[in-house]
Amino acid sequence: MKKFVQLTAIIIISLNIFNQCKKDNKTDIDPPSSVTSMKELKVPEGFDFSATKEIEFIATIDDEMFGNNKYKVELFDRFPSAGTSPKAVVIVAKNETKTVKAKVNRALKEAYVVVNYPNGIRDMRVATVHEGKVNFTFKKLGRPQRKTQINPNGCTGCTITLNNQSNYNGNFWNNEIICITGNFTGGFNIGGNVQVRICSGAAVNFSYFNASSNASLEINPGATVTASNINFNGNTSAFRNWSNNVNITSSFSPNGKVYNQGILTINGQFNCNSGSDIVNYGEINVTSNININNKFLNHGKVASGNTIHFNSSSDVTNYCSMTANNNFHFNGKLENCSYMRCNNELYVNSSSNIILYDGAMIKGGTGNTYFNKVIQAYGTTSSIVIPGPLTINSSGGIAGNVELCANNIVANNGAIVPPASIGCNNFIPTSPCNPEGFGTPAIADADGDGVPDNIDEYPNDPLRAYNLYYPSQTGYVTWAFEDLWPAYGDFDFNDLVLHARTKTVLNANMSAVEMFVNYKVVAIGASQRNAFGIQFDFAPSAIQSVSGQLLNGFTNNAPNGTELGQNKAVVIFFDNAFTALPNPGSPFVNTVPSQTFVAPIERQITINFATPIPILNFGDINPFIVVNQNRGREVHLAGYAPTSLANTALFGTIDDNTGTVGFLNYTSKTGLPWAIEIPEIWQYPIEKEDIVNVYYQFVPWAQSGGNVYPLWYTDNGSNVNTAKVYTP
């Protein structure tokens, strides 16, 4: 069974950072377990001793502010303050979803997601790790909440059915459900919870329709309705429409609820009285004025052939399009999240309260415009566009993230409160709600790779765009090995200890072009000349070149730096650990406290790929050692695959159980490993100290299959015998 160590698509995330403070010794702590030797440990079948778990990071952008420009979405394991670095990165455009896999600490329950806009602005959210996934959809905050669409009741539960009626006059007052099918002419007076439902396919012509409190008219999809003298008189009366063929031939002045999810045409005025509550998801086309006196929530398109009056008691939220062929008169509350336009005069009066959100747009006409109240804007920059003469009086102005584009300001005694500005430089893309948009994107892309400079880590290099780090930009992973395989060792996990960090450079298409591996050999608790390498999950030909290796003729390499005879690319970093960390004259290095400490040297391996490798196809890296330059004697992490040069004759011998059904590669007959990975810098045991007597939570962690004490390797004050860990 093969496991992943690190992919450029799979990023190990550790929940904790290394504490550099020296800890007090705790020699008087008794191990909380009867297990005093690793060999006594019993673990669940298939347990791989991994301190991490694999999750999916799924990122979606639900935002059209920057057109088709790309966003960079970063995953952090802790609050992204100064000095922290992302653990995973995806590049995603609007209405697009990208998925990467990540290995995270078993304890991680919440992550921080930072969205980098193409213009450089950053937005942070907290996301939950749930059932192995961080499923994140980015929607801008700050806008008013959208109202959920509702479905028609249809023509079921009818108490009265009227089919093909002519010149009908109905008066109903008590809890009837009246369904109309076929052709119908006539009218109704209804009240007392009476519902009139016009069924799909019906053709109805109302000469009058009067609804009082709690009565309703519901028009189903596919119906055709023409009506005059239509009145909804109580604030609990309701008009609901899902049809695209509804024509009111006179003015419409509801006092109750109006819900429109179809196309409603009003040949006259639309007077939304003080008791009304209007919700529109479709189109409302009015030949004359619209007069709004109460709540009006628009998710669709509203068009007036004359003027829209937003009166003092109005409370309007616009998510899509509201237009007037003549004038706008603003006197009440307006929250505009999208597009509004009039063709003549625009009045922002002193009783108004106008707020713009996230790239909203108000456009005036060629007539006069007057600002007598400050317009406030939040989120990404909105635009107010005034083609005609503009007068900003002393009580008027603009404030917040808004740009005023006006070339004919005849008086400006009002306020321009930064970051508000006067100019015509903003960009708002066209959309189904905003057919004209504004400006052109001011998003720089110096190298033309399609990634805006503000989120491009290589803005002048078209071949490179981003870096992915494992485990982080500043942290290290620890790989610790026992080297007596296939026999048990002393389980101090210090025969060879390395700290490593990878940086994978991606292009604009999220394909890897090169990798840098910074590593340090920090301890050698063995006298054997052990080699170290990494096996990749792609062919040797995928690598163009390797540099930085410390080799003394032990390995046979191809001209590109990969080891010959391998089905998958194998890069040997060094063939003798003592060339990477010199022996100070004693048998071991940095495992015996009384012996001379040798400062580890950071080295770098550079791997260039022949052609960019898509991140989702990159696969895993598989770290391993070659014991004492015996090429076939490899030691890998539990569950990882051997290379093509491994001596399979050693499998299943002595204590090893590799190749046995139900057991992982490189585990013993009782499921124990010869190598472990810790997703941070780890204080390893001193020479000959069994790990179970050093890290007291290791035993219950392993016995539980990793379900308890997921941070067993950290010092929380009582779980580590610090007298038995190596400290320089």
Q: Is the dihedral of CA 557, 562, 568, 573 positive or negative?
A: positive
Q: How far is CA 110 from its chain centroid?
A: 13
Would you state the pLDDT for residue 144? 57
DSSP-derived 3-state class of residue 425 = coil
- Predicted confidence (pLDDT) per residue in 514-545, tens digit: 999 999 999 999 999 999 999 999 999 999 99
Q: Give the global pTM.
A: 0.65
Would you state the pLDDT for residue 28? 40
Evaluate if residue 164 carries a pLDDT over 50.
yes
DSSP-derived 3-state class of residue 137 = strand
- Cis before 486? omega within 30: yes
Lowest mean per-residue pLDDT among 14-18, 419-423, 537-541, 570-574: 14-18
**In angstroms, rounded to a whole number, what is the distance separating the alpha carbons of residues 432 and 440?**
18
Would you state the pLDDT for residue 618? 83
Tokens of 34: 């009867």
Q: How far is CA 619 from its chain centroid?
A: 22
Q: DSSP E strands: which ranges in 175-215?
A: 177-190, 195-198, 203-211
What number of other Cβ atoms are within 10 A of residue 56's Cβ? 15
- 8 A C-beta contact, residue 435 and residue 363: no
582 CB contacts (<8 Å, ≥6 apart)? 589, 598
pLDDT (average), residues 638-659: 97
pLDDT (average), residues 568-592: 95
Q: What percent of the chain has pLDDT over 70?
A: 94
Would you state the pLDDT for residue 18? 27
What number of other Cβ atoms are within 10 A of residue 150's Cβ? 12
Would you state the pLDDT for residue 288? 98
106: left (phi over 0), alpha (psi -120 to 50) or beta: alpha
Measured CA to CA in angstroms, residue 592 lies from 37, 595, 674, 678 at distances of: 20, 6, 21, 21
Q: Which residues pair with 342 in a beta bridge?
A: 324
- Predicted confidence (pLDDT) per residue in 368-418, tens digit: 999 999 999 999 899 999 999 999 999 999 999 999 999 999 877 888 988
Average pLDDT of the chain to the nearest whole number: 91
Evaluate if residue 143 carries a pLDDT over 60.
no
- Predicted confidence (pLDDT) per residue in 589-633, tens digit: 999 999 999 999 999 999 999 999 988 788 789 999 999 999 999
**In angstroms, rounded to a whole number, what is the distance separating the alpha carbons of residues 543 and 558?**
11
DSSP 686: P
Q: CB burial class (10 A; 0-12, 13-18, 19+) of residue 69?
A: buried
Q: Which residues pair with 319 in a beta bridge?
A: none
- 8 A C-beta contact, residue 498 and residue 603: no
The ranges assigned to domains in the chain are: 289-439, 464-724
Tokens of 324: 């007037």
DSSP 597: P
- Predicted confidence (pLDDT) per residue in 176-187, tens digit: 999 999 999 999
Nearest one of 94, 80, 103, 81 to 137, comparing CA atoms: 94
pLDDT (average), residues 224-239: 95
Tally: H helices and E strands in the chain = 2, 52
**In angstroms, rounded to a whole number, what is the distance separating the alpha carbons of residues 227 and 363?**
34
